[in-house]
Amino acid sequence: MKIFQVSEFIEHINSLVGSEIHIVEGEVSGFSVSQGKWVFFDLKDEKNEAKVGCFMIAFRLKTPLEDGMKVRVIGLPKVHEKSGSFRINIEDVQPIGEGALRRAYELLKKKLADEGLFAPERKRPIPRFPETIGVIASAESAAYGDFIRILKNRWGGVDVQLAHVQVQGEDAIDDITNAFLYFNNAKIQPDVLVLTRGGGSLEDLRAFNSEEVARAVFSSKVPVVVGVGHERDETIADYVADLRASTPSNAAERVVPERGDIGYEIAAMGKIIDSAMERIVEEKRSILKHFGFILRGYVKEKLAQVESLLGVLKSLSPAEVLKRGYAIARSNGVILKSASQVAIGETIDIQLFRGTLKGKVIGKL
């Protein structure tokens, strides 16, 4: 029989057991993270005392863990080269059972909330009349059928692009995150993305409660509406979404308006414009009328002024003065204003209103 040195022995054992993936279920105990990089914990049986050490790289840990949580670990058995201690090098770990899933859900929800993924101020508005809607759903699901039916009942003229994905099971997380990548990298991005599926247990909704999908929704450049299951189902994806719909049908209701409502709005706007225009025309007409009235008054007043001026002028003319009995005396055509202008015996002309007299000056007073 071969005699090993210790390191050779460990190497030999690792070569025997270390290449086959094992799945082990148990309860987490002594969970710790070292330097933010290495994750250590023991996996133990509930009934007997058996336990095994577990090690994993922190970035591989996609679900929050804590002591007492029931999990399924997937990894390679390994004996540590230096300490000789036996452990499982974990590639993936999943909470199992309603209790563990619920706990993992709560822990992840708190973590993402603290990071600001649910912050109301980052929620983006959904366009009122989307032209292109990217739908991430299972093509065969009732959820998708409901969404399309309600969409059609409410609104038309939309391009729906369906990304058919698994919404539960092994591929669900990858499918969904890849669909988000696809739409975000598309040459012409949709106006809005809708992620939807029917209701289910925490196990069914695992993808919708995963950190990967939460981050895909969060980093989508296109606003996201999430509509999952029944009204009471709440998923992490719901919280991250720009708009949360309570069901797949509700997602259709939130994403497009209703024909009748919009028709009514258009008619109402038409009415406002119509009556406003009528009012403008009426206003202009009354201004014109008023202006005409003012103008007429003004002209009348001016005419009266002119007439009275003419009267004054007329009364000042010499003919009008002579008419009243005055006379003009002239000597050789020069109007006489003083008695000294003529000598006694000179001849003068006296113009009356009608006719002229010739006279001789016989004295001065």
Partner 1 sequence: MPKESKFNFSQAFSELEKITEWFEKGEVDLEEGLKKFERGLELAQKLKICLKDAENKIIEIKAKFSDESR
Chain residues binding partner 1 by CB under 8 A are 127-129, 131-132, 139, 148, 151-152, 155-166, 171, 174-176, 178-179, 181-182, 259, 262-263, 266-267, 269-270, 272-274, 276-277, 280-281, 283-284
Query: What is the maximum span of the chain, computed from C-alpha positions, in angstroms?
Result: 190
Residue placing its CB nearer to partner 1 in the complex, 91 or 346: 91
What's the min distance (Å) between Cβ of 46 and partner 1?
Answer: 35
Please say which residue, 181 or 295, places its beta carbon nearer to partner 1.
181
150: phi then psi, degrees, rounded to nearest 5: -65, -40
Nearer to partner 1, 160 or 350 (CB): 160
For residue 125, the minimal CB distance to partner 1 (Å) is 13
Least distance from C-beta 303 to partner 1, angstroms?
A: 32
List, in sequence order, every beta strand (DSSP E) within the chain: 22-34, 38-44, 51-57, 70-79, 86-95, 132-137, 159-164, 192-197, 224-228, 243-245, 328-331, 334-335, 347-351, 356-360
Single out the residue of 301, 187, 194, 190 nearest to residue 243, CA to CA: 194
Sign of CA dihedral 323, 327, 332, 335: negative
Nearer to partner 1 (CB atom), residue 221 or residue 259: 259
Q: Kind and range of the H or E element at 240?
A: helix 236-240
Measure the CA–CA gap between 120 and 241, rounded to whole angstroms: 10
29, 49 contact by CB (below 8 A): no
> Residue 327 half-sphere exposure, CB side, CA atoms within 13 Å?
12
- CA dist 201 and 138 (Å) reads 17
Distances from the Cα of 161 to the Cαs of 171, 175, 232, 236, 253, in angstroms? 21, 15, 28, 24, 17
Q: How far is the CB of 131 from partner 1 (least distance, A)?
A: 6
Nearer to partner 1 (CB atom), residue 30 or residue 292? 292
Closer by beta carbon to partner 1, 44 or else 164: 164
Point out which residues pair with 72 in neighbouring strands. 25, 94
For the bound state, the minimum distance from the C-beta of residue 177 to partner 1, rounded and expressed in Å, comes to 8
The minimum distance between CB 91 and partner 1, in angstroms, equals: 15
To partner 1, the closest distance from the beta carbon of 103 in angstroms equals: 29
Specify the residue, 291 or 298, whose C-beta has the smaller distance to partner 1: 291
